[in-house]
Structure 1
Amino acid sequence: CISFFFNGFKFYEFDFISFHSKHGDHFFQFANWNLSSSTVEESETDSEESDVSGSDGDDTSWISWFCNLRGNEFFCEVDDDYIQDDFNLCGLSSQVPYYDYALDLILDVDSSHGDMFTEEQNELVESAAEMLYGLIHARYILTSKGMAAMLEKYKNYDFGRCPRVYCAGQPCLPVGQSDIPRSSTVKIYCPRCEDIYYPRSKYQDIDGAYFGTTFPHLFLMTYGHLKPHKASQSYVPRVFGFKLHKP
């Protein structure tokens, strides 16, 4: 901690803080500036969201850590019991490299592979764990528990609103254009105009297969009372007040 004084009064101080991410190999360092209360009573704290939230304690699970990463707000937390049932993971071992190691990482199972693998291999395991969790997630959100978790996010507008003016801020649902990984990124589906749109930029790198093509439609069938009336208004182009003739 270093402090600066001006005419005998402390003007400001800053701390250099370093920490180690529980699930990463990199150290981070930053300067935390604190203005003295003798000069400024309040400081502006409106800053970018942390890349990781809620992962301060050693007891944080990998699933909670992953879902709380900035940009992963579309994901819900999959129950451990669901993941531990081999039936629910049928067919995924052939799609995901380092499958067993990735599964151990997701379930926080102690493994010695970190000592045997190179740094590059450990990074591949981390990447495989994210892919495996995404594919498990696509299946989980089609279950009653998964839909209930996504319902809370839908009610909180976590998936965003339709950008179309005549949809009047209709909340959207995440959808994939393909169930095959790495085919397309996630989009948001509007139940009112029944069209899809790009989400906010921080979500545009998420694989659409992690939500699948079925979810929003099965969700609205399950919670039929949430399905809005189809948009009746549409924009009419005019020139000097006259409607354009459609050929």
Structure 2
Amino acid sequence: DDIDTSNTPDYVQGAARILYFLVHQRYVLSPRGLDTVRRRFLYKAEVDPIFGKCPGLGCNGMPLLPYGASNDYNPSGSQDSRAKRYCASCEQVFYHWDSKVDGCAWGNSFCHLFLMEFYDELFSSWRSAAHVPPTVKSIFGFPLHSSATVASKFQL
């Protein structure tokens, strides 16, 4: 049966929503969470990518990844705090017009960590002709060095 939340105070429901977003962010950054997103991504990548396709002409329909500008919940609910989409080809961040999810649900590290782990498997077939200034790649707030993707390929 469904749980009756009509007697639950609004502040409790709001706190539960924030907690869910933050737990989701932690989960998708874990190895198991990354693999779950990879499998969902592969399932629909060719026909109808789960997070949409890049609108850039030079990106040839590159599948997008979710991106949050901040790891912290923004109670204002403004357009800037909502989840966006990131293109690995042109390295641009796009607003997703119907997104009602706060960007903290994905955080600003997910898409770059996902690309470090699975770029060759998922994205190597797409090539970009676009020449747009790239978004600064970072994981946990630290900018990535250009050799970081090369170093992550080696087994320790």
What range describes the TM-score normalised by the shorter chain of this pair? 0.5 to 0.7
Once the 2 structures are TM-superposed, how far is the Cα of residue 177 of structure 1 from its aligned partner? 0.8
The residue that corresponds to 1:22 in the other structure is 2
Q: Distance in 1 between matches of 2:97 and 2:50?
A: 11
Aligned partner (choices 176, 181, 202) of residue 73 of structure 2? 181
Deviation at 1:169, TM superposition (A): 1.3
What is the RMSD computed on CA atoms of the aligned residues?
2.3
Could you say which residue in structure 1 is the equivalent of 2:103?
208
Contact 2:71 2:108 in 1 (8 A): yes
CA distance in 2, matches of 1:184, 1:164: 23
Aligned positions of 1:32-51 closer than 5 A: none
The 1:22–1:220 alpha-carbon spacing in structure 2 relative to 1, beyond 3 Å, is same
Give the length in aligned residue pairs.
Answer: 120
Alignment of 1:159-170 (within 5 A): 159-170=51-62
State the Cα distance separating 1:230 from its structure 2 match: 5.0
Unmatched segments (≥5 aa) in structure 1: 1-20, 27-118, 236-247
What residue in structure 1 maps to residue 96 of structure 2? 199
Change (3 A) 1:160 1:24: farther
Q: What is the identity, as a one-letter code, of the residue corresponding to 2:37?
A: M
Shift of 1:200: 4.3
Stretches of 4+ aligned residues off by more than 3 angstroms: 23-26, 227-230
Answer 1 or 2: which has greater helix percent.
2
> How far, CA to CA, are the matches of 1:195 and 1:233 in structure 2?
10
Query: TM (normalized to structure 2)?
Result: 0.67
Relative to structure 1, is the Cα distance of residues 142 and 181 closer, same or farther in structure 2, using a 3 angstrom cutoff?
Answer: same
Determine if contact 2:60/2:128 at 8 Å carries over to the other structure.
no
CA distance in structure 2 between the partners assigned to 1:142 and 1:131 by the alignment:
17
Structure (1 or 2) with the greater strand fraction:
1
Deviation at 1:129, TM superposition (A): 1.4
Alpha-carbon offset, residue 24 of structure 1:
4.3
* Aligned partner (choices 17, 35, 57) of residue 130 of structure 1: 17
Return the offset for 1:154: 2.1
Output one character per residue of 1:37-91: Cα deviation in whole Å (capped at 9) or x when no partner.
xxxxxxxxxxxxxxxxxxxxxxxxxxxxxxxxxxxxxxxxxxxxxxxxxxxxxxx
- Paired residues of 2:51 and 2:66 also in contact (CA < 8 A): yes
Distance 1:124 1:170, change over 3 A: same
In the alignment, the residues of structure 2 paired with residue 197 and residue 233 of structure 1 have an alpha-carbon distance, to the nearest angstrom, of 15
> Is residue 175–residue 212 contact of structure 1 (8 Å, CA) maintained in 2?
yes
Unaligned 5+ runs, structure 2: 75-79, 133-156
The SS at the match of 1:223 is helix
Cα-to-partner distance string for 1:106-155 (whole Å, 9 max, x where unaligned): xxxxxxxxxxxxx362x322221121011011111111110111112322
Residue identity over aligned pairs, in percent, reads 32
1:154, 1:172 within 8 Å by CA — same for their partners in 2? no
**In the alignment, residue 193 of structure 1 is paired with which amino acid?**
C
Q: 1:187, 1:198 within 8 Å by CA — same for their partners in 2?
A: yes
Secondary structure of 1:141's match? Answer: helix
Structure showing greater relative contact order (alpha-carbon pairs closer than 8 Å, 6 or more residues apart): 2
Amino acid at match of 1:136: V
Amino acid across the alignment from 1:147? L
Residues 1:221 and 2:108 are matched in the alignment: no
Higher radius of gyration, 1 or 2: 1
- Check 1:25–1:135 CA distance in 2 against 1; reply closer, same or farther (3 A cut): closer
In structure 2, give the amino acid aligned to 1:176: G
